[in-house]
């Protein structure tokens, strides 16, 4: 009976792992330098929406003194910038990341491509250039801009 229970628990764990992978939920940390925050997060999870979700999404604190200001724009323009913006599992998805450097101090963003699930393509657009976030791991923002981050199925 102990062996049988272990067998069922093992299979339940395997099926649970397959469900997580097939759902393509994830969270990507963007590390920041010369900004009022050290990191921000974007991602996808079951039960989230593309709007603000209390308990899932988190508002960004106000900007500090003599630091850059970074946050995801909220779908509702009446809400402040977001520190954490988690979307539903639908594809495609896009995030708009507002960046305002302080003076001539560029904001530096970096991330781990290993956090991007297989089968998905994540790009970041700065000005008119689009970068694959699996191959580019770092970006500098020297002027106030809104970066466009897009997630879709990999070709």
Confidence grade of residue 88 (pLDDT, cut at 50, 70, 90): very high
Q: Work out the average pLDDT over 52-64.
A: 95
Nearest partner of 60 among 83, 76, 43, judged by Cα: 83
Q: What is the DSSP string of the chain?
A: -HHHHHHHHHHHHHHHHHHHHHHT-EEEEEEEESBSSSEEEEEE-TT--SS--BTTBEEPPPP-TTSBEEEEPPSSTTS--EEEEEE-S-SSEEEEEEEE-BTTB-EEEE--GGGSPTTEEEEEEETTEEEETTT--EEEE-SSEEEEEEEEE--
Q: Would you kindly state where each structural domain of the chain is located, as residue ranges?
A: 26-153
Q: Distance between CA 154 and CA 77 in Å, rounded?
A: 31
Residue 22, pLDDT score: 41
Output 105 or 24, whichever has higher pLDDT. Answer: 105
Q: What is the pLDDT of residue 23?
A: 62
């Amino acid at each position: 009976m102990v062996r049988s229970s272990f067998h069922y628990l093992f299979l339940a764990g395997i099926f649970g792992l397959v469900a997580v992978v097939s759902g393509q939920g994830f969270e990507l940390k963007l590390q920041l330098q010369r900004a009022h925050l050290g990191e921000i997060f974007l991602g996808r999870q079951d039960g989230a929406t593309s709007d603000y979700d209390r308990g899932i999404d988190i508002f960004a604190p106000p900007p500090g003194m003599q630091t850059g200001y970074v946050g995801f724009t909220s779908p509702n323009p009446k809400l402040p910038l977001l520190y954490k913006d988690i979307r539903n599992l639908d594809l495609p998805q896009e995030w708009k990341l507002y960046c305002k450097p302080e003076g001539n101090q560029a904001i530096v963003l970096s991330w781990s491509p290993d956090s991007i699930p297989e089968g998905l393509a994540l790009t970041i657009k700065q000005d008119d250039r689009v970068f694959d976030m699996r191959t580019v791991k770092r970006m500098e923002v020297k002027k106030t801009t809104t970066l466009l981050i897009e997630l879709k199925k990999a070709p």
